[in-house]
């Protein structure tokens, strides 16, 4: 290296060292820090910022069924931990902006000498804005306005400050400030477009839609990007639709369409959809609209948006009452690949409503389930649909029971030969399906010969769930046999047959797919040895014993009765209700169903105008049940209104008697109520109350018997299911109860038995004990009279904390001259007293003690 070169290098190094200083206001220092900040740190920060914007654009999903926001930014409520960011790109951009400020800011004599610092603060604020940290972003923009009033970015900072104010809910302040910005004469077109867009969003938030439309029109006029024009024109169409100006809205949708490929295709397709929704079929030509939608469907460029086009075709056919074709298009919309969750919920809701209107309530329930799956719980419509779905619960449940029991009883009526023929056809169908699957190179779903076994199919329905039924099946992969089966198929297709060994992908022992045909492996399934394909497997499962069949008949009849009531009273579906009641009466129902079913048919025939059938039913009731309340209702229809709430009132009276321990009266009165109002909805509640009263009087065995009767006769009601649950869980636990001899118990009772007819003696004993408690200062003790059985009562002293204390109190009552209570009594712990009352085994307790 020669001397000259060394001199030059030394000079450059010296200049660099001198220029690094941020305290010297020289030409070299200013430009060194400005250039370094702009072309190094801020450049990298700007690149990260643009990458973040691109990521937001790609991930953001617009809801075209609602008014689009002017700016594509989804604000969430997620709370971030300190020093964390939502988007790493914006975090990096912010980091670069802060670094540029820290290392290159030149604050000298209260003035910033580096002309790039306003750019750094602007990048800082915008990065925080898109990372949804709006308060820190506002600080950054305000700092620019405070520190750099002469900056050429001052207008940008003012606009971004108001954008941030809008995000913070300060729309009125933003409107005021944005108007001031737009009144300036020194704005370029981009500034006008940005300020007008922000002003439009503020007006939308304030629900001033007409003002928003004016501002957004100016935005569309001054923006230079066609993609933004397409969005703004589309929003203007939506705004005018909301303002009740469909013709003006269509003009803006036409402007979106005229942009064609200059704007994103999604705006183009949705503009056509919105125009179709605005089309007046009464005054316009329906064929013209159909042609437009058909052309959209056939355009290859529109394939990613077929879900929306099919939906609108469904709407078209629904509006002209071609419901079958409409349903097909709604289903095609659902079957099309789509990320539009809201559209899926709309499709399912419409299909649910169509099924509901057609009285296909089971199908409607499944569609409502799927609607709720795709709908946000925060929407008002969600609660409405959920309520509608809940109202269908009983219909779906009883229809399912009716179908299942009908099917089983139909099979039970077949002879052995008929059953064998029936299930042979069924298994032949299974085999044919399996063969087709194997020919396609797939594992058959129902097989035990190869691959994972499924459970035996029920009526040919696979056990996996279907999203349209609201049943997603098993979520865990290995709990869902069909998913496992499909996985095995894919493995064989991809890898061929592989041994279970380490390094199975690369092992030379592996049998390559090219040398082993997966289809040959699948053909190893042996149908003859698989019970799934053996008709006798199913024949053996058909019940034949009378007890099971009688139980099924009872379940079916109750389901038909309940369905008749629901269709009649809840949905006014008289044809369906009549069909259910008529079927019930033709199939030997229990006595409690006959008269209510006939009376309901009497009313239904009247509603249908079937006068002859109504008269026949009227004569039947009056001749065979002349003293029933239903006969009274027929003779005097006004008595229906008077007696409508009578069963419920009588039940409430019974319940009060139960609380007063008048258990014998409850049992007697309850039976009278059942005989008087057979089939009334209150009867299962009465039966449950009778069972509870029986338990109090006669103990566990009688209670078990009463619950069994309730569970059998009213199996589909809430009370019947509660009884069955008690029989399955509660009663077995109660039967295992045994007396405890634990001397450490600290809650005892002193019990004086009296006969049920010793009412005077009962009162005397209770008064003596109450008097003693009051006079002797035993305020913690209480007295009650408990029923033991129909012949005996207990006068019980509660609150004694030990066995010795209980015995001492008994001796005090016996020996004190003021009380002299000479009456047989016994001491018992609270736990053992409960067992005595449940099992009615006082004699066993006394023998043990």
Domains of the chain: 22-168 (1.25.40), 415-539 (no CATH), 546-643 (1.25.40.10), 646-735 (1.25.40.10), 748-848 (3.30.70)
The pLDDT value recorded for residue 306 is: 92
- Residues 643, 628: contact at Cβ < 8 Å? no
Kindly state the average pLDDT of the residues 402-413.
91
- Residues 240, 213: contact at Cβ < 8 Å? yes
User: Within its chain, how far is the Cα of 236 from the centroid?
Assistant: 35
How would you classify the pairing of strands 782-789 and 107-108?
A: unpaired
Kindly state the average pLDDT of the residues 668-677.
83
Kindly state the average pLDDT of the residues 340-359.
90
Q: Is the pLDDT of residue 54 over 90?
A: no
pLDDT band for position 283 (50/70/90)?
A: confident
Q: Is the pLDDT of residue 299 over 50?
A: yes
The pLDDT value recorded for residue 475 is: 43
18 or 732: which leads in pLDDT: 732
CA–CA dist 497, 511 (Å, integer): 6
The pLDDT value recorded for residue 393 is: 84
With H, G, I as helix, E, B as strand and everything else as coil, classify residue 755.
strand
The shares of helix, strand and coil residues in the chain, as percent rounded to the nearest 5, are 70, 5, 30
CA–CA dist 811, 149 (Å, integer): 99
pLDDT band for position 580 (50/70/90)?
A: very high
The pLDDT value recorded for residue 717 is: 78
Q: Is the pLDDT of residue 437 over 60?
A: yes
- Residues 276, 316: contact at Cβ < 8 Å? yes
The pLDDT value recorded for residue 32 is: 65
Torsion sign, CA atoms 826, 829, 830, 832: negative
Q: Is the pLDDT of residue 684 over 70?
A: yes
The pLDDT value recorded for residue 63 is: 85
Kindly state the average pLDDT of the residues 353-357.
89
What percent of the chain lies above the pLDDT cut of 90?
31
Reported as a single tens digit per residue, the pLDDT across 427-436 is: 888 888 877 7
Kindly state the average pLDDT of the residues 219-235.
90
For the chain, give the mean pLDDT: 82
pLDDT band for position 315 (50/70/90)?
A: very high
With H, G, I as helix, E, B as strand and everything else as coil, classify residue 82.
coil
Who's near 749: CB < 8 A, 6+ residues apart? 796, 797, 798, 800, 806, 827, 828, 829, 830, 833
Entry field: residues in the chain: 849
The pLDDT value recorded for residue 572 is: 87
Kindly state the average pLDDT of the residues 219-232.
89
Q: Is the pLDDT of residue 335 over 80?
A: yes
The pLDDT value recorded for residue 531 is: 83
Q: What is the DSSP string of 590-634?
A: -HHHHHHHHHHHHHHHHHHT-HHHHHHHHHHHHHH-TTSHHHHHH
Q: What is the DSSP string of 104-150?
A: H--EETTEE--TTHHHHHHHHHHHHHHTT-HHHHHHHHHHHHHH-TT
Could you list the beta-strand ranges (E) of 236-319: none
Q: Is the pLDDT of residue 91 over 70?
A: yes
Q: Which of 239, 225, 313 is nearest to 269 (CA)?
A: 313
712 or 283: which leads in pLDDT: 283
pLDDT band for position 93 (50/70/90)?
A: confident
The pLDDT value recorded for residue 672 is: 85
Q: Is the pLDDT of residue 21 over 80?
A: no
Kindly state the average pLDDT of the residues 547-572.
88
Structure letter (DSSP) for residue 452: P
Q: Is the pLDDT of residue 834 over 60?
A: yes
Kindly state the average pLDDT of the residues 672-678.
78
CA–CA dist 296, 309 (Å, integer): 7
Q: Is the pLDDT of residue 507 over 90?
A: no
pLDDT band for position 450 (50/70/90)?
A: very low
The pLDDT value recorded for residue 24 is: 59
The pLDDT value recorded for residue 44 is: 84
26 or 550: which leads in pLDDT: 550
Q: What is the DSSP string of 2-68?
A: -HHHHHHHHHHHHHHHHHT-SS---HHHHHHHHHHIIIIIHHHHHHHHHHHHHHHHHH----TTSPP
Q: Is the pLDDT of residue 304 over 60?
A: yes
The pLDDT value recorded for residue 28 is: 59
Q: Which of 356, 414, 411 is nearest to 388 (CA)?
A: 356
The pLDDT value recorded for residue 775 is: 87
With H, G, I as helix, E, B as strand and everything else as coil, classify residue 829.
strand
Lowest-confidence region among 109-123, 166-180, 561-575: 109-123
Q: Is the pLDDT of residue 841 over 70?
A: yes
Q: Is the pLDDT of residue 33 over 70?
A: no
Q: Is the pLDDT of residue 48 over 70?
A: yes
CA–CA dist 415, 418 (Å, integer): 5
pLDDT band for position 444 (50/70/90)?
A: low
């Amino acid at each position: 290296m020669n001397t000259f070169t060394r001199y030059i290098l030394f000079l450059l190094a010296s200049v660099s060292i001198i220029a690094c200083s941020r305290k010297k206001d020289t030409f070299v220092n200013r430009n060194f820090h400005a250039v370094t900040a702009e072309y190094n740190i801020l450049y990298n920060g700007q690149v990260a910022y643009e990458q973040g914007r691109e990521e937001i654009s790609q991930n953001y999903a617009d809801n075209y069924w609602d008014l689009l926001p002017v700016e594509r930014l989804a604000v969430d409520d997620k709370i971030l931990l300190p020093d964390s960011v939502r988007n790493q790109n914006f975090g990096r951009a912010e980091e670069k902006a802060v670094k540029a400020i820290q290392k290159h800011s030149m604050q000298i004599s209260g003035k910033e000498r580096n002309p790039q610092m306003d750019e750094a603060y602007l990048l800082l604020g915008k990065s925080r804005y898109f990372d949804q940290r709006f308060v820190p972003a506002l600080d950054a923009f305000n700092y620019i306005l405070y520190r750099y009033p002469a900056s050429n970015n001052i207008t940008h900072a003012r606009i971004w400050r108001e954008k941030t104010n809008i995000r913070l809910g300060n729309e009125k302040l933003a409107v005021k400030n944005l108007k001031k910005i737009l009144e300036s004469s020194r704005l370029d077109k981009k500034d006008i477009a940005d300020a007008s867009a922000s002003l439009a969003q503020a007006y939308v938030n304030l629900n001033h839609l007409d003002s928003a439309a004016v501002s957004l029109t100016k935005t569309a006029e001054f923006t230079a990007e066609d993609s933004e024009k397409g969005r703004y024109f589309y929003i203007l169409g939506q705004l005018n639709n909301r303002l009740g100006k469909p013709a003006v809205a269509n003009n803006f949708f036409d402007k979106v369409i005229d942009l064609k490929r200059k704007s994103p295709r999604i705006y183009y397709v949705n503009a056509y959809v919105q125009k179709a929704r605005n089309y007046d079929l009464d005054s316009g030509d329906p064929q013209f609209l159909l042609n437009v939608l058909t052309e959209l469907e056939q355009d290859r460029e529109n394939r990613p948006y077929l879900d929306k086009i099919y939906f609108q075709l469904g709407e078209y056919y629904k509006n002209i009452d071609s419901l079958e074709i409409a349903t097909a298009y709604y289903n095609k919309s659902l079957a099309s690949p789509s990320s539009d969750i809201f559209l899926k919920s709309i499709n399912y809701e419409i299909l649910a409503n169509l099924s509901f209107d057609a009285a296909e309530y089971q199908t409607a329930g499944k569609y409502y389930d799927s609607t709720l799956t795709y709908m946000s719980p925060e929407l008002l419509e969600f609660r409405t649909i959920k309520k509608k779905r809940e109202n269908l619960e009983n219909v779906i449940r009883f229809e399912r029971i009716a179908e299942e029991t009908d099917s089983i009883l139909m099979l039970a009526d077949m002879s052995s030969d008929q059953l064998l023929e029936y299930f042979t056809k069924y298994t032949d169908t299974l085999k044919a399906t399996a063969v087709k699957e194997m020919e396609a190179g797939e594992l058959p779903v129902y097989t035990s010969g190869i691959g994972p076994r499924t459970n035996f199919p029920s009526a040919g329905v696979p056990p996996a769930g279907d999203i349209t039924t609201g049943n997603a099946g098993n979520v865990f992969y290995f709990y869902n046999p069909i998913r496992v089966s499909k996985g095995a198929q894919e493995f064989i297709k991809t890898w061929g047959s592989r041994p279970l060994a380490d390094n199975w992908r690369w092992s030379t022992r592996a049998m390559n797919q090219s040398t082993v045909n997966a289809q040959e492996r699948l053909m190893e399934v042996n149908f003859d040895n698989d019970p799934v394909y053996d008709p006798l497997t199913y024949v053996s499962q058909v019940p034949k014993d009378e007890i099971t069949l009688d139980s099924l008949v009872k379940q079916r009849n109750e389901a038909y009765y309940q369905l008749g009531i629901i269709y009649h009273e809840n949905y006014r579906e008289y044809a369906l209700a009549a069909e259910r009641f008529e079927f019930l009466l033709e199939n030997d129902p229990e006595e409690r169903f006959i008269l209510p079913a006939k009376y309901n048919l009497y009313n239904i025939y009247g509603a249908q105008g079937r006068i002859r059938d109504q008269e026949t039913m009227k004569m039947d009731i009056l001749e065979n049940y002349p003293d029933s309340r239903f006969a009274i209702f027929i003779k005097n229809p006004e008595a229906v209104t008077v007696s409508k709430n009578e069963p419920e009132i009588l039940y409430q009276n019974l319940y009060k008697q139960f609380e007063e321990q008048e258990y014998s009266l409850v049992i007697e009165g309850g039976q009278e109520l059942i005989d008087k109002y057979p089939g009334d909805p209150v009867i299962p509640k009465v039966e449950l109350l009778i069972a509870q009263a029986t338990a109090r009087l006669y103990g566990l065995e009688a209670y078990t018997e009463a619950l069994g009767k309730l569970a059998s006769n009213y199996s589909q009601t809430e009370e019947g299911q509660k009884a069955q649950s008690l029989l399955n869980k509660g009663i077995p636990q109660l039967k295992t109860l045994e007396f405890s001899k634990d001397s450490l118990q600290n809650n005892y009772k002193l019990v004086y038995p009296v006969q049920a007819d010793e009412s005077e003696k009962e009162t005397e004993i209770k008064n003596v004990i109450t008097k003693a408690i009051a006079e002797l200062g035993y305020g913690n003790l209480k007295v009650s009279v408990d029923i033991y059985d129909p012949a005996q009562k207990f006068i019980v002293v509660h609150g004694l904390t030990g066995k010795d204390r209980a015995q001492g109190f008994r001796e005090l009552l016996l020996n004190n001259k003021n009380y002299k209570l000479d009456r047989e009594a016994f001491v018992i712990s609270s736990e053992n007293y409960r067992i005595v009352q449940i099992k009615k085994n006082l004699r066993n307790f006394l023998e043990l003690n």
